[in-house]
Amino acid sequence: MVNKQKILIYMSGGVDSSVAAALLLKDGYDVTGAFMVDYDDPERPGSCWHSDYEDALRVCAKLGIKLLRLDFRKEYKKLVLDYMYKEYEAGRTPNPDVLCNKYIKFGVWLDKAKELGFDLVATGHYARLERETPNPKSQFPNKSKLSKSKIKLLQAKDKNKDQTYFLHQLTQKQLQSTVFPLGKYTKPEVRKLAQKFNLPTAEKEESMGICFIGEVPMKEFLQKKIKSKKGKIINSAGEILGEHDGLAFYTIGERGLKLGKGTTGRPYFVVSKNIKDNELVVGHEDDPMLYKKEIQIGEINWISGQPPKFPLKCKVRLRHRQELQNCVISNKNNKIFVNFSKPERAPTPGQFAVFFLKGECLGGGVIV
């Protein structure tokens, strides 16, 4: 049976989106690929995306589908990069991948797809959607039921690859038009499918860099935009141990600080940032300042569209691939707090706390 729905699959040039496109074709969709240019290195134009674009072209040629190339550099700069620089300058540590999904992939990209006449969009994310329809487990929805269905964002079959952490800021409206073909597969199974479909990207290695920018060290990337503001490195007792390059370039929990002679020989970790006095506070792995029993979060998105009843016992993840931790979410004077069952290491302001219950991603918010 041929599915007449028009779907735009976001092609990154990697194996995941390649297989996702092949699966959509197999399911009978009218599939078009799209490669999005969101960032360009001003010193080396095209260097961070051209090879991926060529891979996407080869995959689409193999599958016999059209590939659009669209430019969203202005939107990416305004909605992701500028926000990211501002957060780092304020001493926080934002997550550009979460922002990119919220504002770019399922924001301006989705708007463009609708403008071009597509019914749905798809990506190579490892996540599942459950729609409250007569066939709730379907990954490929029937258009006539979309507007009536309530959608749950569920963890992928492959818990190691699960990417719901990065998708937790999405809304019902965004998910209504979205398909995640890889949610019911593991990464090894996706590799086998790529070989079965004889895709040019079957053996391509994964990229683990910044969203659309590539595998460049974060400090090196930030130093091109943020001025160095040196200050003292101190321990929790206030003793001066060295000098830092600027609070923007350090993350809570970071290891490997070079503090020179006279230290204990044990590795130091960033345990806090004193923004007011421009001081970087460090300590050892067992420093109490590195661990928190409670945090406050803001800018919260509940995927259902409605906040849950508080207090809520659930699971929380403070960073991608962290093992899920038990917590209780409570509302105190219209402020949301998260209490952990045991102290959590290095909750980082600017990062996200994401909540789960029985395999469902409920949403999350920014750590204050």
Query: Closest by alpha carbon to 199, among 29, 25, 4, 6?
Result: 25
Instruction: Report cis status (omega within 30 of 0) of the bond before 200.
Output: no
Kindly list the distances between the CA atom of residue 80 and the CA atoms of 39, 72, 278, in Å, as whole numbers in the listed order.
Answer: 10, 11, 25
Instruction: Give the residue carrying structure tokens 């500028």.
Output: 82
| Chain centre distance of CA 343 | 24
Catalytic residue (choose from 48, 60, 100, 314):
100
C-alpha–C-alpha distance, residues 222 and 231, integer Å: 17
- Token pair of 177, please? 């038009």
Helix (H, G, I), strand (E, B) or coil at 103: helix
C-alpha–C-alpha distance, residues 45 and 50, integer Å: 9
Helices (H), the chain: 15-26, 50-63, 73-76, 82-89, 96-99, 109-115, 143-146, 164-167, 172-176, 187-196, 218-222
- Token pair of 159, please? 């818990």
314 a catalytic residue = no
Kindly list the distances between the CA atom of residue 84 and the CA atoms of 2, 33, 342, in Å, as whole numbers in the listed order.
Answer: 43, 28, 30
CA atoms within 13 A on the CB side of 124: 23
Please report which helix (H) or strand (E) contains residue 225, including its range: none
Helix (H, G, I), strand (E, B) or coil at 84: helix
Catalytic residue (choose from 60, 211, 314, 327):
211
C-alpha–C-alpha distance, residues 337 and 358, integer Å: 21
211 a catalytic residue = yes
Following DSSP, what letter does each residue of 130-158 receive, concatenated? EESSSSTT-SS--HHHHTT--EEEE--S-
Position 111, amino acid: D
Query: Where in the sequence numbering do the catalytic residues fall?
Result: 100, 211
